[in-house]
Chain A
Amino acid sequence: AQSVSQHNHHVILSEAASLELGCNYSYGGTVNLFWYVQYPGQHLQLLLKYFSGDPLVKGIKGFEAEFIKSKFSFNLRKPSVQWSDTAEYFCAVNFNNAGNMLTFGGGTRLMVKP
């Protein structure tokens, strides 16, 4: 079955540290890829998305993600995190054979210590 995996469930970093959150999916066909962020008590907001073209995509707030097709991965990165990045991050994939449906990973809860 098609699935999305986020292997890091909890990450704790100090401010200014670099961040990389992993996202892998199981599907050999065409995909559309998304990262969403959920700040405490808020709804999910789109960070960035990839559909085609340059596999390195830049999103809001200094985040970027790289699509590596051979590894079925779409990892999220940020060179220097801030306390305000404390949130839960969700990777989501639209598999090409699933219409408009999104499959979400289990989420990664990031805590940034000031």
Chain B
Amino acid sequence: NAGVTQTPKFQVLKTGQSMTLQCAQDMNHEYMSWYRQDPGMGLRLIHYSVGAGITDQGEVPNGYNVSRSTTEDFPLRLLSAAPSQTSVYFCASKKGGTNQPQHFGDGTRLSIL
């Protein structure tokens, strides 16, 4: 059982480039989300989805797009990368219900030059 799979693990981009971070889960979880982790700030929610075809903004959505065409996949797109987006990105999934814990992927370390 793979759980939550993120690719790539590392990426270096130049300012202005675009890219997509991939996230896939095989647990049939309804809820998926993207976080960024920055030193001293914990994890901040970028976007989330409560099911296929439904997405919504989190705490820090600017500069990022998401889509959820299937239950399994939840890609995160950087439209025009900026140095402020240098961070570690985590994808997570969970069953519906507020008392269900999140399952996290291994993270993508992204550097924007």
A residues near B, CB below 8 A?
4, 6, 9, 32, 34, 36, 42-46, 49, 51, 90, 92, 94, 96, 99-107
Contact = CB atoms under 8 A, between A and B. Distances in A.
Contacts of B58: 101
Contacts of A44: 43, 90, 92, 102, 104
Given A43-B107, A100-B31, A9 B40 contact: yes
Interface of B: 4, 31, 33, 35, 40-45, 48, 50, 58, 90, 92, 94, 96-102, 104-107
Contacts of A51: 99
**What 6 A-B pairs have minimum CB-CB distances, sorted nearest first?**
A104-B42, A43-B104, A104-B43, A51-B99, A44-B104, A106-B42
A35 to B, nearest CB: 10
Given A43-B107, A100-B50, A49 B41 contact: no
Nearest to A101: B45
Contacts of B101: 34, 46, 49
Given A6-B42, A44-B90, 11 more contacts: A34-B101, A43-B104, A46-B101, A49-B101, A92-B102, A94-B98, A99-B50, A100-B31, A103-B45, A104-B44, A106-B42
Contacts, number: 59
A100 B90 contact: no
Contacts of B100: 100
Given A49-B99, A90-B43, A94-B98, A101 B48 contact: yes
B106 A107 contact: no
